[in-house]
Chain A
Amino acid sequence: MSEIKEITQKEAAFSFGKKERKLLTDPLNDNNPITVQVLGICSALAVTTLLDKALVMSIAVVFVCAFSNLIISVLRNSIPKSVRMIVQLVAIAFLVTVVELILKAINYPIYVELSVFIGLIITNCIIMGRLEAFAMANGPWKSFLDGVGNGIGYGIILIIVAAIRELFGKGTLLGYTILGDWYTPNGLMVLFPSAMFVIGILIWIHRSWNRNLIDVS
């Protein structure tokens, strides 16, 4: 009897209904990893000087987040609670090493530019946070979708910030000149603090538009 139940559950596990769609869209607005959950800020600041770096970073994070959620969700019932942190970190570190090696092989210049920040995906709190909060309690398919959703929610902010910083800091986008000779590049925009300002202002805009998120304290 339990076997039959399990099989029907498995079939249902791959459905794509309203609930599953919510898993994907929720992190884009109401539960955005950066502007609401405040996770994964470090890498968001460091890699957003140029748009191409931010794009590569977003793809890497979507990949790592989705597959680490999947792996941990499959293993979730056999991980002892006391060592779960280390198991999670090893799973993440394995995926990050894969990303690092792939990137090194296909695009070496970007690999050099991103330097330690690819390695720091391991300690990107979004991934760890989603593992703890979601993958440890939900099935593989849902966890995978949650990982993709959160990765994209993170990526969108990263790409917006990087586009602003590259446009005003260098007058280019993806290396193509957008603002011509008349524009004097703003040197502050390529420095770290400007990422703080841009994200701070994004939070301001986001919260003025979505009033439920305002801090009441």
Chain B
Amino acid sequence: MGELANIFIKSAFIENLALAYFLGMCSYLAVSKTVKTAFGLGLAVIFVLGITMPINWLISEYLLSENGIFGMDLTFLRLILFISVIASMVQLVEMVVEKFSPSLYNSLGIFLPLITVNCAILGGSLFMVSKEYNFSESVAFGLGGGFGWFLAIIAIAAIREKIQYSAVPGPLRGLGMAFLLTGLMGMAFMSLMGIDPAAF
């Protein structure tokens, strides 16, 4: 159990998908204008990462590897299968949420379908393969990664809400400032790299 907690903390803080690997930056920059929308997108990302990661683990372990049911190395199909799983899971999640919780569905709005092309999701799956996690570790990695991304987008959204009242030079207003802020946040997160997750 402690091992899994380590992976969760490591993927949420030390190897933060948004601020250490800069994955999922497009939606991160586009949807971080207000905290409210950022919150919805962050939740959706945690959810989708937590679901797709174990499914993709099963696929790469039992379908694509040499020990799988086809008995041959099919890793060249990895990208196509992973992205199909992600696209269909997002569609499925969208339908389930719409059916059971219309209020959550309305608050997430167009962000759910957008998650398909959030590179944090596909990137997370590809990292999971390259790090050779087992099943439960991949669940922890997915949830932790999602949580880290959630924290990052809420933090930048809060800063961007406040900075609207500052006198930023015209050409730097909006997007330019968001880039500089993310760079600074990334530097701050780099200082977490020295932490030993085993100490928790």
Interface residues of A (CB under 8 A from B): 35, 38-43, 45-46, 85-86, 89-90, 92-94, 96-97, 100-101, 115-116, 119-120, 122-125, 128, 191-197, 199-201, 203-208, 211, 214-215, 217
Contacts and interface: CB of A to CB of B under 8 A. Distances in A.
Interface string B159-200: 000000000011111111111101110110010000000000
Contact of A193 (B76, B84, B127, B187): B187
B72 interface: no
Interface of B: 20-26, 29-30, 76-80, 83-84, 87-88, 91, 113, 116-119, 121-123, 126-127, 130, 169-180, 182-184, 186-187, 190
Main secondary structure of the interface of A (DSSP, over half): helix
Given A89-B84, A120-B23, 10 more contacts: A85-B113, A86-B88, A93-B80, A96-B79, A128-B117, A192-B21, A193-B182, A197-B179, A204-B171, A207-B172
A38 B29 contact: yes
B167 to A, nearest CB: 14
Contacts of A92: 83
A152 to B, nearest CB: 19
Nearest to A40: B26
Given A85-B113, A196-B180, A200-B183, A215 B25 contact: no
Nearest to A46: B22
Nearest to B169: A204
B26 A39 contact: yes
B64 to A, nearest CB: 13
A112 B176 CA distance: 32
Nearest to A194: B183
Nearest to A100: B79
Contacts of A192: 20-22, 186
Nearest to B122: A123
B48 to A, nearest CB: 13
A119 B76 contact: no
A195 B118 CA distance: 19
A122 B190 contact: no
Given A123-B122, A194-B183, A200 B177 contact: yes
Given A90-B84, A193-B186, A197-B183, A45 B25 contact: yes
